[in-house]
Amino acid sequence: MKDVKDVKIERQPLPLIYPNPVVLVTTLDANKRTNIMTLTSMGAVCWEPPIIGIGVGKNQHSRILIEKCREFVVNIPKAEMLRDVEYCGLVSGRNVDKCAKTSFTLLPSTEVQPPMIEECPANLECKVKKKIPLGSNILFLAEVVSLHIDKKMLDEKGGVNLAKASPIMFNLTNTYWGVREKLADYGFTRIQKLL
């Protein structure tokens, strides 16, 4: 029998669902000014067409911008960018020009209006398909219409080498983590005839 500790479900009830990727979402306001939001509620939800979901707090400035623009870019930062990444999550774009206060370089996107962040090794240009209210957050389902990846983070087969990409992960116990090592390739059980 497993030794179980009962935990009271509170504001962050899912600390065992980890890690969450840390991303930077760029959006535009009505005056075409860029805002950068740090986000940890994000994931792939469909392969064809490529759809991602992001959960944005109802009271967040970026939620309003995404609703109006209906486009955004998910920029995947490297661990060495953590100081600026966290800064973008601690202050509101309502009060601060985050682009002016960080070392990020903005580049024009190819398919959407919000810009990409050059220092991020991967950028996903997205167009909102659906908005779903969920308690404290709004879930935006968006199609990835263009993907940009720094070739330096790819392996010899063209896949992403997470050690080279050096992504930032977040645990809901409020800690940041890096990626350590590859465990196996998908399908290894078939190769080893374990199935």
Residue ranges and CATH numbers for the domains of the chain are 20-191 (2.30.110.10)
pTM above 0.75, yes or no: yes
Q: Residue 191 burial by CB count (10 A; 0-12/13-18/19+): exposed, middle or buried? A: exposed
Q: pLDDT grade, residue 5 (50/70/90)? A: very low
Higher pLDDT, 156 or 47: 47
% of residues, the chain, pLDDT over 90: 55
Q: What span, in angstroms and rounded, lies between the C-alpha atoms of 127 and 145?
A: 7
Omega of the bond prior to 167 within 30 degrees of 0, cis?
no
Q: What is the pLDDT of residues 59-102, one digit of tens each?
A: 999 999 999 999 999 999 998 998 999 999 999 998 899 999 99
